[in-house]
Structure 1
Amino acid sequence: MAEQSHWMRKVEADPGHSQWYIERFRAMAREGADLVGEARLVDAMVSRGARILDAGCGPGRVGGYLAAQGHQVVGVDVDPALIEAAEQDHPGPRWLVGDLAELDLPARGVPEPFDVIVSAGNVMTFLAPSTRVAVLSRLRAHLADDGRAVIGFGAGRDYPFADFFADVATAGLTPDLLLSTWDLRPFTDDSDFLVAILRRETAS
């Protein structure tokens, strides 16, 4: 059993945390906020009908948009309350409760591989540190040979970018493109956000 994530520790400490998070995004949607910038980048990377895994999908804003664009979407999150909200607010994708560190979708009747795996919303920083390489390895295992993983998170969240790049290499992934925003600005040494587009490392 994987170590409990930081997210679920927050939920245990504050049982209302998940609902607060859900309502926060519902309120932003009602106010017309742009909540799908991450999804637009992913949509631009693939042809119609692509198989996409939303890893750490939360209440479904990214996967819901991608499904509406005609993609085959599966979303996984460790928090049952967030999955319930995704089912209510974004019907269409297959939403599943699951721990990314133990991800085995074929065992749950979900065919693989995926053309793209997206992990937005600082998901990587909510993982238990001991599970980071395991999560990246499980994501790699679910990628098509020519598939790509898109992972975004901010600095100052106890996961230095250098540590992330080391974990990426350990997990058998390699960067294709590094950005500092979801709207395609380049990553530099002083960037305070990272969007890493990764592919499977191939033997040379």
Structure 2
Amino acid sequence: MSRWEELTGGTSGQDYAERFAALAGSGKDVHGEARFCAALVPAGARVLDAGCGTGRVMIRLAELGYDCVGVDLDASMLAVAQKQAPELPWFQVDLTGFDPDLLGISPYFDLVIAAGNVFPLLAAGTEATAVERLAAALRPGGLIVAGFGLDEAHLPVPPSITLSEYDDYCAAAGLTFVDRFATWDADSYDGGGYAVSVHRR
């Protein structure tokens, strides 16, 4: 069982969506991840939203002209995403078993984004496999972007993956480090408790 399932029981989709809707309604910018991605690859690029949740990031990217696919293990989150954007492709998939061929979709994505603490919320011991599966879905030269917390202040569960471990998983999957930031607004990383990492295949 993933740490996410242990945390939520797999029933948190609507609550999660309502929380972000309230943030947006208060005037807070909730599209930093999509803006970050749009600065990396041009409109029309193929994007895999890995751990897409309720679809907030992917729906925004689709509005900006990106060719998106969303995958998540949590059916309650996907139900919200499908209701909000039924025209977009959503799949219930465990990232450790992600295989585009099995889903009947083309591999070779230009960008994979894993936002929202995807890697710290995986089942213990599966992180390297998830990175490997996502890396395999990238075209040569494609990018994977992962943003996740590194300490208790930035995570809903105890910290479980360090940046050096994540970099090692990426290297083992044939990915090369490109850059690291402290926020989705591309602020310089200063060793803090949250990091957005970019690696290239």
Answer whether TM exceeds 0.5 for this pair. Answer: yes
Alignment correspondent of 2:193: 192
- Give the partner amino acid of 2:167: F
1:186 shift after superposition: 1.8
Q: Is residue 54–residue 119 contact of structure 1 (8 Å, CA) maintained in 2?
A: yes
Alignment correspondent of 1:5: 2
Alignment correspondent of 1:116: 111
TM-score, with length taken from structure 2: 0.90
Question: Any gaps of 5 or more consecutive residues in structure 2?
Answer: 152-158
The DSSP-based 3-state class of the residue aligned with 1:45 is coil
Q: Aligned runs of 1:1-204 on 2, under 5 Å?
A: 4-12=1-9, 16-156=11-151, 157-188=159-190, 190-200=191-201
Q: 1 CA distance for matches of 2:40 and 2:168?
A: 25
1:16 shift after superposition: 4.5
- Give the partner amino acid of 2:68: V
Q: 1 CA distance for matches of 2:118 and 2:92?
A: 15
1:11 shift after superposition: 3.1
1:95 shift after superposition: 0.9
Sequence identity, in percent? 38
TM-score, with length taken from structure 1: 0.89
Q: Is residue 155–residue 193 contact of structure 1 (8 Å, CA) maintained in 2?
A: yes
Report how many aligned residue pairs link the two structures: 194
Q: Is residue 11–residue 18 contact of structure 1 (8 Å, CA) maintained in 2?
A: no
| RMSD, aligned CA | 1.5
The DSSP-based 3-state class of the residue aligned with 1:49 is coil
1:34 shift after superposition: 1.1
- Give the partner amino acid of 1:7: W
